[in-house]
Amino acid sequence: MSDRRPSTYDIARLAGVSRSTVSFVLNDRQDIWISEETRARVLDVAKKLNYRPNRLAKALITGTSRLVGLWMWSVSTPFNVSIIDHTLDLMHADGYQAIFFEMQGLESGNELPDPGQWPLDGIIAEGDPAFLETFIAQHRTVAPIVTLGVRTSPLTDQVIFDISTGVRESMSHLANSGRKRIAHLLPESIGLESNEARRSTYEACMREMGGTPEYIECDFSARSREMAMSAIADHIKQHGCPEAIFCHNDEMAVAANRILRQLGICVPADVHLIGCDGWIETEYQEPQLSTIGIPLEEGCREAWAFLRNRIADPDLPRQSIILPTHLIHRASSS
């Protein structure tokens, strides 16, 4: 038996129709009159042959592939998994499919997929804007791009999560609760001199409160909660326990909650604890963890609308929206 992929020629031959008729049926052309019996016969033959269209060839003919790239910094973090989940629902409802690409581990934007080899109608990206800006500079023609997240690029349409509003609410809440010594748990890859929004807003708030920033850095490159737990334990051993810990993300907050309990430190009586991202698992911890809620569902809707607009009209003015974040106050910071 031949391993050759079935083609529209095979469908036409077995259905007893022309290849143009096959093309009209498979593309659901309603402006061409074809009898229902003929349409059914063509579709039946295509199903029996397990025919799958060649999207690249179709894109060259029609100018559209109905494929969208979802380029994430990581496809395994709860934050990005939520983005993927919400965006896929929107895409599928409009008849689009996704191609995933992970940027974590790349040296630069030069390693992003060559647009000449991927017939994408558009890209929604969350990650390091510098990677995308290198990618855009390298290629004269790229698909429309929408950047989504805390970090976005002004070279693209952008949906910006203003994380600073949520951080300020969190720090104000901790201060009003009488907590003065507030530590920030963050990945060491961020660096204490960076302008990363969570870190820089935390530091600004501490200075405004008359306090001294206190950092607990951990190696979180492999999403290792054990590394976060170890860093917290070492910090407490050397410096004593802070009155509150503001965590870079909810995975770290879960790790902090566990190690504090193991050390016999009570949350929230001894230490207030706040995470970030609004991960649903924070509701199922004991105690329930306070977190900064990010409007992911709304953000994904806006990003998808921006991309559809840009696909329909490439000459649109730049589209941009800023969505605020807010503290979700639960038992861990009461």
Q: Do 265 and 155 reside in the same domain of the chain?
A: no
Per-residue confidence (pLDDT) for residue 60, from 0 to 100: 45
d(CA 319, CA 159): 8
Q: What is the pLDDT along the chain (334 residues), one digit of tens a residue?
A: 355 678 777 888 998 998 888 877 877 777 778 888 998 998 898 888 887 665 555 544 455 678 899 999 888 888 999 999 999 999 999 988 888 888 887 877 778 877 766 778 999 999 889 888 888 888 876 789 999 999 999 999 999 999 999 999 999 999 999 999 999 999 998 888 888 999 999 999 999 999 999 999 998 876 678 999 999 999 999 999 999 999 999 999 999 999 999 999 999 999 999 999 999 999 999 999 999 999 999 999 999 999 999 999 999 999 999 999 999 999 999 9
Range of the domain at 42: 8-53
- The CATH number of whichever domain residue 23 belongs to comes to 1.10.260.40
DSSP 216: E
**pLDDT value at residue 281:** 94
Whether residue 236 is found in the same domain as residue 204: yes
Burial class (CB in 10 A: 0-12, 13-18, 19+), 140: exposed
Cα 175 to chain center, whole Å?
A: 31
Give the 3-state secondary structure of residue 29.
coil
Find the radius of gyration of the CA atoms of the chain. Answer: 25
In a domain, 3, yes or no: no
In-domain check, residue 61? no
Amino acid letter for position 273: L
- Per-residue burial over 95-120, b if 16 or more Cβ lie within 10 Å, else e, is ebebbebebeeeeebeebeebeebbb
End-to-end CA, the chain: 70
Kindly state whether residues 240 and 304 are assigned to the same domain: no
Instruction: Tell whether 284 and 254 lie within a shared domain.
Output: yes
Q: Residue 102 in contact with residue 111, Cβ under 8 Å?
A: no
Residues 110 and 187 in one domain: no
Which domain CATH number covers 241?
3.40.50.2300
* Cα angle 59, 72, 319; round to 5: 70
| Cα separation values, 75 from 78, 89, 266, Å | 9, 16, 34
- Report the distance separating Cα 273 and Cα 225, nearest Å: 16
Q: What is the pLDDT of residue 163?
A: 97
Q: Are residues 110 and 132 in the same domain?
A: yes
Between the alpha carbon of residue 107 and those of residues 101, 148, 154, 174, 222, the distances in Å are: 14, 21, 22, 39, 17
For residue 132, give the DSSP letter: H
The answer on 283 and 185 residing in a single domain is yes
DSSP, collapsed to helix, strand or coil, labels residue 270 as coil
Q: What is the pLDDT of residue 75?
A: 83
Distance (Å, whole) CA 75 – CA 69: 13
| Phi, then psi, of 36 in degrees rounded to 5 | -60, -35
287 and 172 share a domain?
Answer: yes
Say how many domains are in the chain.
3
Residues 156 and 256 in one domain: no
Number of other CB atoms surrounding residue 183 within 10 Å: 24
In a domain, 2, yes or no: no
Q: Are residue 73 and residue 143 in the same domain, yes or no?
A: yes
For strands 326-328 and 291-293, give the pairing: antiparallel
Q: Is 18 a member of any domain?
A: yes
Can you give the pTM of this predicted structure? 0.80
Determine the Cα–Cα distance for residues 150 and 158; give it in Å rounded to an integer.
10
Alpha carbon distance 155, 152 (integer Å): 9
User: Residue 268: inside a domain, yes or no?
Assistant: yes
